Structure 1
């Protein structure tokens, strides 16, 4: 089974983008957690975009990691957008406590 690739970049507007491509299992969850913490604690961005448009499925640990990252961002007054998750991933994120206003389906 192919794992995910997690990349980070700074967008032209200064937002930190964490892009996920592929299926998020255990190994990719570790990469995702590191990328989110780096963006929030080291770079100290003002806006975080978690781009899931090219992500396949996300396992429960990955879902928890995204939600926890969004919680940390909120605590640090960083605006967060979870960009284009699949319907199933969006449903699991909401069930795990992610506010619907954070999800950007288009």
Structure 2
């Protein structure tokens, strides 16, 4: 199975975008966690978008990394949107404690 590619960028409006492509396994979870922490602790973005529209399967550690990143963002008053996860990933994110308002399913 192909691993995921995690990229970060800052949009023109200052939003930090963490984009994930492919299947998120244990190795990709490390990249994802680093990208989220970088966005929240180093860049200090005012808004964070976790773009999962091109992500396939996300393992439980990856789901936990996204939820933990969203909790850190909330603690720092950063708005977070998890953009277009698959239906299965969205269900696992919600089951792990991600607020439904953070999910953008379109």
Matched, 1:49 2:46: no
Matched, 1:69 2:60: no
**Aligned partners of 2:104, 2:11: CA distance in 1, in Å?**
17
**Aligned partners of 1:32, 1:45: CA distance in 2, in Å?**
16
RMSD: 0.3
Is the partner of 2:40 in helix, strand or coil? Answer: helix
What's 1:83 paired with?
83
Is the partner of 1:18 in helix, strand or coil? Answer: strand
Count how many residue pairs are aligned between Structure 1 and Structure 2: 106
**Aligned partners of 2:68, 2:36: CA distance in 1, in Å?**
9
For residue 12 of structure 1, report the CA deviation from its aligned partner. 1.2
1:51-77 Cα distance to aligned partner (Å, 9 max, x none): 000000000000000000000000000
Is the partner of 1:50 in helix, strand or coil? Answer: strand
The residue correspondences of 1:87-98 to structure 2 (distance < 5 A) are 87-98=87-98
Is the partner of 1:53 in helix, strand or coil? Answer: strand
Structure 2 residue runs without a partner (length 5+) = none
Q: TM-score when scaled to structure 1? A: 0.99
**Aligned partners of 1:11, 1:66: CA distance in 2, in Å?**
20
After TM superposition, what 4+ stretches of structure 1 lie above 4 angstroms from structure 2?
none
